[in-house]
Amino acid sequence: VPQFRGIETEGSLTGAFMGHMRRANTGIGKAVARDLARRGARVILACRDQQRAEAARQDIVKETGSSQVLLMQLDLGNLQSVRSFAENFLKSESRLDLLINNAGVADRGKTADSFGLNFGVNHLGHFLLTNLLLDKLKASGPSRVVTVSSITYKMGKVDFSCLTTHRDVALGNSDRDAFIKYCHSKLCNILFTYELAKRLQGSDVTCYSLEPGMVNTEISRHGTFFTQVIWTLVGLLFSIDVDSGAQTILHCSLQQGIEHLSGHFFSRCAPLMNMEPKARDDATAKKLWELSETFCGLS
């Protein structure tokens, strides 16, 4: 696929491959970027930590022999950084075939724009990034948007009162609260993809959300000691390796014949047809989209 371009977020594919905390420079993101580079894609690693990302880029180049692995600055916890990235990308790249929204943070705190960290990075940063690149995706079609979610969406909900009042999906600042907020943000990922698919009908762009499985990554490396211990224990007991975790991302990114499943949620390289009703609620998905537009200054 010599003309295939993509972005992966730190954890996307170029036309570009972009990432954040579940990142392009470690874990699943790095495994996906390596696979795409090996296939001949032009890959853009969109990462916050440039030093770590450059080390990962050099590893991928060494392992694949590809000269088409690039690095660009992106902090999904800062909406101005998202806008700057999109502006620079649109100036430098002629097409975008695949955008992989791979960021995932489970931590306490706020973004640079005073949104809850999990909501701001996991949902809002990806929402703005995707919207800013939609015209390029449409012009490059057939193209795809792949958003990494989690089966923990089942524990999530969307509290619009909390979002409008506190700019966060829930209150609280404990380790448990951070995990619950992560679950809420993963439901937002699925609803975003569901609504995006409806808005892309008639275009040559399709979109998919997915859960990669319990993968032993560095998702909690910025968390408290207690959080890191819990994630590490869970990972040791139940996790799969990163190459196995990358397979559903690669399936949604590359598999032919799944275009009619745009908007669906995938697990183990297959669409889940028994999604909980809250993940297929038309009114909630539309309201979340409109509120996200307001938060990002798009409406």
Asked if the model's pLDDT at residue 23 lies above 90, the reply is no
Lowest mean pLDDT among 11-25, 203-217, 275-289: 11-25
Give which of 111, 150, 146 is closest to 130, Cα–Cα.
146
Region for 172 from its dihedrals, namely left if φ exceeds 0, alpha if ψ lies in -120 to 50, beta otherwise: left
Amino acid at 274: N
**This prediction's pTM:** 0.89
Mean pLDDT of the chain: 89
pLDDT tens-digit map of 32-74: 999 999 999 999 999 999 999 999 999 999 999 999 999 999 9
Give 38's contacts (C-beta < 8 A, 6+ positions apart): 63, 64, 66
Amino acid at 187: L
Across the beta sheet with 5-6, the strand order is: 5-6, 42-47, 69-73
Amino acid at 192: F
134-146 average pLDDT score: 98
| Contact assessment for residue 20 and residue 29, using Cβ atoms and an 8 Å cutoff | no
Higher pLDDT, 222 or 114: 114
Confidence of residue 299 (pLDDT cuts 50, 70, 90): confident
**CA-to-CA dists, residue 258 to 126, 264, 284, angstroms:** 22, 10, 25
Structure confidence at residue 13 (pLDDT): 43
Confidence of residue 103 (pLDDT cuts 50, 70, 90): confident
Structure confidence at residue 85 (pLDDT): 98
* Strand, coil or helix: 174: coil
Structure confidence at residue 231 (pLDDT): 55
Asked if the model's pLDDT at residue 22 lies above 50, the reply is no
Q: For residues 125 and 76, what is the distance between their CA atoms, to the nearest angstrom?
A: 5
Give 247's contacts (C-beta < 8 A, 6+ positions apart): 212, 269
Higher pLDDT, 48 or 16: 48
Structure confidence at residue 172 (pLDDT): 96
Structural domains in the chain, sorted by start: 14-296 (3.40.50.720)
Which sequence positions are flagged as catalytic?
A: 182
Structure confidence at residue 242 (pLDDT): 86
167-196 average pLDDT score: 97
Amino acid at 25: N
Amino acid at 257: G
